[in-house]
Structure 1
């Protein structure tokens, strides 16, 4: 319970990364990429939720790796200049949906979960690819994303089920606020 409380405090102290304004919006380099997922509540919560939710999925231990792989694909699309319509709203909705899945301890068929998590990762990756278009920034972002997704997985394993569900509800509520302001 203390670990989840600490995670929620950290999440609440980060600001929303809702200003995905394109290349040049941030400094570039490994540390810029690494710090970015920790400074935006939308990315932070989505990645933690993917990890926590994957714990409860049957035959889906590879969901975190799917998220990271598709995050990379989404980053490549952003770096190539592909602009996805409604990106900010889509990212906020990923937070809502992942939070609901965690809160409800929803179980989905493995293929459905993989497609959903992969789609969410592409959205997040595309935004990151626009913001951090250098390879060194992408490497930092992927390293931080690995920590967050697998950190969420660890929290999902060691935290009481009720704490995980309550955290999911808080994540979903935060996502609703993000969607309303996107």
Structure 2
């Protein structure tokens, strides 16, 4: 096995092992969230969100410039807030869950490809993904202070995950330039998304 294929294999195996746990919203029925702490933990415990946000951060880092590394995650966070607000006023929808799973496939594919897109196109994609993620949580929340606290925690954790993805990509590029770690992660994200689509 070559040095370049080992990281891809490891990420693929990790994605397959994690896939049964990766769907944070297995049924389109509302359940109650509440509080800043739960909002902070949810993206870390819901692996579909964790993979999507780390993946988007990795892809933003792959663009190779500071502007993209800031604006792509920024577009995601802003649109996620919009989606959360829309979700507060509506019921959970199965289509949103498929949108979340679809975002895993697209983000993973972008990371595995490792190519650049025009910044405006990338921001539009990031915003579209984020609307699904935000809506899923807003639709499960009751309006009021509990919902706002949960949203604040969810936003903060999401920002940390996006920043971590950017940082990991840059660290991998500096320390291990011969190993396609980010692209291997993209393959793993795609595999996880495919398994989740089959399980949903």
With the shorter chain as reference, the TM-score category is: 0.7 to 0.9
Question: CA contact under 8 A between 2:37 and 2:153: conserved in structure 1?
Answer: yes
Please give the secondary structure, in 2, of the residue aligned with 1:131.
coil
Aligned partner (choices 102, 109, 117) of residue 111 of structure 2: 102
Counterpart residue number, 2:4: none
The RMSD of aligned alpha carbons is 2.4
Q: Show structure 2 runs of 5+ residues with no match.
A: 1-9
- Measured in 1, the distance between the counterparts of 2:149 and 2:27 equals 19
Question: CA contact under 8 A between 1:26 and 1:32: conserved in structure 2?
Answer: no
Q: Do structure 1's residue 169 and structure 2's residue 176 form an aligned pair?
A: no
What TM-score, normalized to structure 2?
0.79
Deviation for aligned residue 1:16: 2.1
Counterpart residue number, 1:116: 125
Aligned partner (choices 147, 151, 154) of residue 164 of structure 2: 151
- Measured in 2, the distance between the counterparts of 1:17 and 1:144 equals 15
Counterpart residue number, 1:60: 68
Runs of 4 or more above 3 Å deviation: 8-15, 20-23, 82-85
- Measured in 1, the distance between the counterparts of 2:86 and 2:198 equals 26
Q: Show structure 1 runs of 5+ residues with no match.
A: none
Question: CA contact under 8 A between 1:103 and 1:166: conserved in structure 2?
Answer: yes
In structure 2, do the counterparts of structure 1 residues 179 and 55 end up closer, same or farther at CA, with 3 Å as the change threshold?
Answer: same
Tell which structure's C-alpha radius of gyration is larger: 2
What TM-score, normalized to structure 1?
0.86
Counterpart residue number, 1:19: 26
Counterpart residue number, 1:30: 36
Deviation for aligned residue 1:157: 1.0
